[in-house]
């Protein structure tokens, strides 16, 4: 069996499951699922989940699969040298900036992607990306869809300039909301449905953020820094102030001695005021509205679970790694569970990079492409694995080569 990069054709036969979910949008579910978007797709995949009429087997049935057993086709597929393969990394919230996407509009499908996004979101996402205003783009409800669409638009540029990087891609990972873009690229979700899920997710996270004053703190520590103990001290400080059930925990594992800590505002204030004593070299507040990837996002999980039940999810056609445990997704039930759990779990990005790039001494590394705004993921790769970073390329989203 040969893995091809294909553009989904308009007019393909699709089922109407999920029409209730999306009936408020201008396009029908049929139009959304047949939207032409670059993705990886395996023809005649024996592990394609769901029947021809669109019904799916239960998650319980999927859990009975032998998760790590390769398919017969996977066993027959010729293995390529790592240096001939590629890995795609998709950024998350915080990478957005006014002007992103300007260099992508000439590439196939990109304008159509933003047009469909406008119908799903109800506002002009392209105009917001290109011209701002910045304070609107920075809002959680706007920046998550913006980063999602811009990242997948960057894939279109990469496919135009270096189609072999798409054809030979063996793995993908995304940071927080970037995980949805990675799943779309892998063929596990459709573009339009995934964007709607991102919309629901962003709105639920924004609403959860407004319940309690909270935030996130970027921390770089000395080798002797004890991050979990620092969080414990911060929670004890909150208790002394009369705050019940205070939250303060590591929300992102970025690289060795690089963390993001999130929680109650009072806890983060304590960490900043005591940063020297806690052996922090830097403790900088992030421009986000809440304590993402902590227990303070619990109220956002149910809306996300609900919408994930209503959209089609398939097994990824390449390895896609979960933020929750840095392990690859095995089936659609696994994807649904982990995406909901991700909201209240730390992003294990450092662990994911180790999982993707770990290899024996002397073995070559794949080409790595960061597709989307910013170069933050490249910076984390540089700190985690310098040898892998030597084969890193950022796909620019602001300029293009004529």
**CATH number where 381 lies:** 3.40.366.10
β-bridge pairing 248-255 and 347-348: parallel
Distances in whole angstroms, Cα of residue 295 to Cα of each of 195, 204, 292, 339: 24, 14, 8, 15
Residues 273 and 349 in one domain: no
Mean pLDDT for 366-380 is 97
Residues 131 and 206 in one domain: yes
DSSP-assigned beta bridge partners for residue 86: 169, 367
Domain hosting residue 147, numbered range: 82-210+294-395
Residues 196 and 222 in one domain: no
Model pLDDT for residues 228-248, shown as the tens digit of each residue: 999 999 999 999 999 999 999
Domain boundary among 286, 318, 340: 286
Asked if residue 36 lies in contact with residue 8, where contact means CB atoms within 8 angstroms, the answer is: yes
Of 34, 86, 151, 176, the catalytic one is: 176
CA distance 14 to 190: 12
Domain boundary among 223, 254, 286: 286
CATH of the domain at 226: 3.30.70.250
Residue 3 lies in a domain: no
Residues 365 and 351 in one domain: yes
Residues 167 and 261 in one domain: no
Q: What is the pLDDT of residue 108?
A: 87
Residue 43 lies in a domain: no
Flag whether pLDDT at 71 surpasses 60.
no
Q: How far is Cα of residue 361 from the mean position of the Cα atoms in its chain?
A: 30
Model pLDDT for residues 88-133, shown as the tens digit of each residue: 999 999 999 999 999 999 998 999 999 999 999 999 999 999 999 9
Catalytic residue status for 86:
no
Residue 324 lies in a domain: yes
HSE toward the beta carbon, residue 56, CA cutoff 13 A: 20
Model pLDDT for residues 125-181, shown as the tens digit of each residue: 999 999 999 999 999 999 999 999 999 999 999 999 999 999 999 999 999 999 999
Residue 332 lies in a domain: yes
Q: What is the pLDDT of residue 272?
A: 98
Model pLDDT for residues 36-55, shown as the tens digit of each residue: 554 443 323 333 333 333 33
Residues 331 and 277 in one domain: no
Residues 176 and 95 in one domain: yes
Flag whether pLDDT at 277 surpasses 90.
yes
Catalytic residue status for 43:
no
Enter the tokens of residue 336.
């649904």
Of 292, 220, 290, 214, give the one whose Cα is nearest residue 254: 220
Residues 201 and 247 in one domain: no
Residue 102 lies in a domain: yes
Residue 110 lies in a domain: yes
Of 293, 334, 367, 394, the catalytic one is: 293
| Count: domains in the chain | 2
Confidence of residue 78 (pLDDT cuts 50, 70, 90): low
Residues 271 and 141 in one domain: no
Domain boundary among 237, 267, 286: 286
Residue 196 lies in a domain: yes
Residues 167 and 107 in one domain: yes
pLDDT, averaged across the chain: 85
């Amino acid at each position: 069996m040969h893995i091809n990069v294909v553009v989904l054709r308009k007019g393909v036969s699709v089922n109407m499951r999920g029409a209730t979910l999306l009936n408020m949008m201008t396009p029908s579910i049929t139009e959304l699922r047949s939207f032409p978007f670059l993705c990886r797709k395996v023809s005649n995949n024996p592990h394609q989940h769901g029947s021809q009429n669109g019904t799916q087997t239960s998650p319980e049935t999927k859990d009975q699969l032998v998760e790590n057993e390769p398919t017969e086709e996977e066993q027959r597929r010729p293995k390529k040298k790592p240096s001939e393969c590629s890995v795609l990394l998709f950024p998350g919230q915080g990478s957005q900036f006014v002007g992103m996407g300007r260099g992508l509009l000439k590439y196939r499908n990109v304008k159509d992607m933003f047009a469909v996004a406008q119908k799903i979101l109800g506002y002009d996402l392209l105009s917001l990306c290109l011209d701002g205003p910045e304070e609107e783009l920075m809002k959680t409800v706007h920046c998550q869809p913006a980063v999602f669409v811009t990242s997948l638009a960057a894939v279109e540029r990469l496919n135009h300039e270096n189609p072999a990087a798409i054809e030979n891609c063996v793995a993908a990972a995304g940071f927080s909301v970037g995980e949805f873009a990675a799943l779309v690229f892998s063929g596990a979700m459709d573009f339009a449905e995934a964007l709607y899920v991102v919309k629901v997710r962003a709105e639920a996270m924004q609403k959860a953020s407004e319940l309690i004053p909270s935030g996130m703190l970027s921390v770089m520590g000395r080798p002797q820094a004890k991050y979990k103990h620092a969080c414990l001290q911060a929670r004890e400080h909150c208790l002394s102030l009369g705050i019940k059930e205070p939250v303060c925990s590591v929300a992102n594992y970025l690289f060795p001695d690089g963390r993001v800590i999130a929680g109650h505002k009072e806890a983060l204030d304590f960490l900043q005021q005591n940063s020297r004593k806690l052996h922090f070299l830097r403790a900088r507040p992030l421009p986000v509205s809440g304590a993402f990837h902590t227990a303070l996002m619990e109220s956002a999980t149910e809306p996300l679970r609900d919408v994930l039940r209503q959209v089609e999810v398939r097994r990824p056609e390449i390895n896609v790694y979960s933020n929750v445990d840095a392990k690859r997704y095995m089936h659609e039930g696994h994807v649904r569970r982990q995406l909901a759990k991700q909201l209240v779990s730390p992003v294990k990005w450092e662990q994911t990079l180790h999982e993707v790039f770990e290899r024996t001494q002397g073995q070559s590394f794949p080409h790595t492409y960061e597709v989307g705004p910013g170069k933050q993921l490249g910076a984390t790769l540089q700190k985690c694995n310098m040898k892998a970073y030597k084969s890193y390329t950022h796909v620019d989203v602001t300029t293009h080569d004529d």
